[in-house]
Structure 1
Amino acid sequence: MKQNIEASFLEIIDKLKGWLGAFIENLPNLVVAIIVMVISFYISRKVSKWITKLASKKIPQESITKLIGRISATVVVLIGLFLALGALDLSKTLNTLLAGAGISGLVIGLALQGTLSNLLSGVILSFRKKIQIGNWVKTTGYEGEVVDISLNSFILKEADNSMVIIPNKTIIENPLKNYSLTKTMRITVECGVGYESNLEEVEKITKKAIEGVYHQNDGTEVEFYYMSFADSSINFKCRFWVDSKDAKNRLEAKSVAIMAIKKAFNTNNINIPFPIRTLEFNNTLGVNSLTKQ
């Protein structure tokens, strides 16, 4: 028993001596590997700052530029790690790391498929010049001002000041209407007049009222169309152009137009009827005859 313990102890000492000898033998390579790693970390910081500054000139989203900078820094560090492992003559370890990285990347990619899709969509959105922060857009049933385009979500602030967070993937896959791309917007006002009205006069007065508050440029004119015979009125639609970039301007223009039309109709005694129902009794009941019976 004692001999076995001594043999085991001697075997451990031999292994420690072997490790110490290997360490001393590979000490120059270890120093080179450490120097390579330190230099790679230093270069990665410089590269990250340079790439971030360069990307900020093309991409307005700060989160995207920081992500690009971090990715570039990570690439530089990985290159330094592989060079350091090569200096230590750990080629087998290097191959194992590469194989493990491939398998791990596949597993992580499958597990985070939705997240990665939103991430890539966010990068794509950041390069789209026709979608910028501050634009007024309408998409997937929501309408509001774009306040942020992050790596995972597209954030809108609606007219009631509520925030809508939409996944970037949804924005990429669905139509988007951007009101801020043009300087003008067409406004539509609908109204109705009484059946006794002179329709030609109504059209002239309506167009004059609109042109009095919103002058039409570039040869355009106020459009006026009668639409239907309703129960209590003859309905019409009036369309005109205004300088507008968001929903507030559109609502203000419509409000001003409605007030101008109402004022003009009051001045010219044009009736805007409210819904009424007239009951006519053509067959009068003979009360006397019923009394006689």
Structure 2
Amino acid sequence: MNDKIQASFIDIYDKIEGWVTALIENLPNIIVAIIVMVVSYYAARFVNKWVVKLASKRIPQDSISNLIGRISATAVVLLGLFLALGAMDLSKTLNTLLAGAGISGLVIGLALQGTLSNLLSGVVLSFRKKIEIGNWIETNGYSGEVIDINLNSLVLKEFDNNLVVIPNKTIIENPFKNYSLTTRMRIVVSCGVGYESDLELVKKLTKEAIGELYKDDDDSEIEFYYTEFGDSSINFICRFWVDAQNAKNKLDAKSVAIRAIKTKFNANDINIPFPIRTLEFNNKLNINSPQK
């Protein structure tokens, strides 16, 4: 019994001695690994601040800038971890970590496919110069001012002050119209005049009404075209350019133009007819007529 106990203590002593010996032998490598991890930690903090500062110059969203900074810092820490494991001759552990990271990344990517898609789309939107905060855009059946682009969604503020939250993925995959990219916009006004009207006079009055409102420095032409013989009127369109950057400016310009044309037509007795339905009461099939 005593021999077994003594043998057990000897085995324990041998193992502890082996561990101490291995620790002493690998002490330089351990010190190097610790130094590498410490350096990578402070380097990650520096990289995080530097990347956030650099990204904030081009990206107005703080959340996107912070995300890019954290990703850069994480990459630096992982690099330091791999270098530290390599310094300690733990190549097998390094391979195991890489394999585990690959499998974990695949599982997480499948589970969070929609979320990651919106996140990456948000990053892409943040770098796009054709859509920025403050722009007036129209997309997916909604129109409004872009007030926020975060990691998951884009927020629009509509005419009625309602907020519309649209997933970033939807913005990337569908076309959108940005009214703020240009400072000028073409306005189209449709109207009709009676068949008895002097068409040359109608054209002249319409151009005068628009020209009195918008006198362009670039002498852009006010276009006038008759389009069709309607049921009760001869229809036309008038096209002209105005300084506008959003849909509200477009509506304002069109509203002012319609009022000006109507005032001009009234002053010159130009009729703008409305549809007329004629009813005949001389029906021979009247129910009161005598039957033969």
Shorter-chain TM-score range: 0.7 to 0.9
1:38 and 1:25 map into 2 onto residues whose CA distance is 22
1:95 is displaced (CA, Å) by 1.5
Q: 2:276 is paired with a residue of what secondary structure?
A: coil
User: Cα gap change, 1:2/1:259 in structure 2, threshold over 3 Å: closer, same or farther?
Assistant: farther
Q: Which residue of 2 aligns with 1:277?
A: 277
Instruction: Tell me whether 1:58 sits opposite 2:28 in the alignment.
Output: no
Q: Which residue of 1 aligns with 2:219?
A: 219
Instruction: Tell me whether 1:122 sits opposite 2:122 in the alignment.
Output: yes
2:207 and 2:260 map into 1 onto residues whose CA distance is 10
1:283 is displaced (CA, Å) by 7.7
1:260 and 1:148 map into 2 onto residues whose CA distance is 38
Q: Which residue of 1 aligns with 2:229?
A: 229
1:42 and 1:283 map into 2 onto residues whose CA distance is 98
1:272 is displaced (CA, Å) by 2.2
1:34 and 1:284 map into 2 onto residues whose CA distance is 108
Q: What RMSD over aligned residues (CA atoms) do the two structures have, in Å?
A: 2.9
Bigger shift: residues 55-64 or 199-208: 55-64
1:68-114, CA deviations, whole angstroms, 9 ceiling, x for partnerless residues?
Answer: 21111111111221222233332221121111112222222233333
Alignment of 1:98-113 (within 5 A): 98-113=98-113
1:221-280, CA deviations, whole angstroms, 9 ceiling, x for partnerless residues?
Answer: 222222333333332222111100001111111111111112112211222233332335
Bigger shift: residues 228-237 or 255-264: 228-237
1:245 and 1:284 map into 2 onto residues whose CA distance is 61
1:45 is displaced (CA, Å) by 0.5
Conservation of the 8 A alpha-carbon contact between 1:216 and 1:222: no
Residues paired across the two proteins, number = 288
Alignment of 1:1-293 (within 5 A): 15=15, 18-19=18-19, 22-23=22-23, 26-280=26-280
1:218 and 1:142 map into 2 onto residues whose CA distance is 33
1:7 is displaced (CA, Å) by 6.7
Q: 1:271 is paired with a residue of what secondary structure?
A: coil
Bigger shift: residues 21-30 or 185-194: 21-30
Conservation of the 8 A alpha-carbon contact between 1:36 and 1:83: yes
1:17 is displaced (CA, Å) by 5.7
User: Cα gap change, 1:122/1:99 in structure 2, threshold over 3 Å: closer, same or farther?
Assistant: same
1:130 and 1:278 map into 2 onto residues whose CA distance is 54
1:70 and 1:19 map into 2 onto residues whose CA distance is 38
1:21 is displaced (CA, Å) by 5.4
Conservation of the 8 A alpha-carbon contact between 1:214 and 1:242: yes
Identical positions, percent:
72
Q: 2:239 is paired with a residue of what secondary structure?
A: strand
Q: 1:125 is paired with a residue of what secondary structure?
A: helix
Bigger shift: residues 239-248 or 198-207: 198-207
1:52 is displaced (CA, Å) by 1.9
1:223 and 1:86 map into 2 onto residues whose CA distance is 75
Q: 1:160 is paired with a residue of what secondary structure?
A: coil
Q: 1:272 is paired with a residue of what secondary structure?
A: coil
Conservation of the 8 A alpha-carbon contact between 1:82 and 1:94: yes
Write the letter of the residue equivalent to 1:64: I
Write the letter of the residue equivalent to 1:105: G
Write the letter of the residue equivalent to 1:35: I
1:208 and 1:91 map into 2 onto residues whose CA distance is 84
Following TM superposition, the consecutive aligned residue runs of length 4 or more in structure 1 with deviations greater than 6 angstroms are 1-10, 282-285
1:34 is displaced (CA, Å) by 2.8
2:269 and 2:7 map into 1 onto residues whose CA distance is 120
Q: 1:203 is paired with a residue of what secondary structure?
A: helix
Bigger shift: residues 13-22 or 48-57: 13-22
1:23 is displaced (CA, Å) by 4.5
Write the letter of the residue equivalent to 2:147: V
- The unaligned stretches of length 5 or more in structure 1 are none
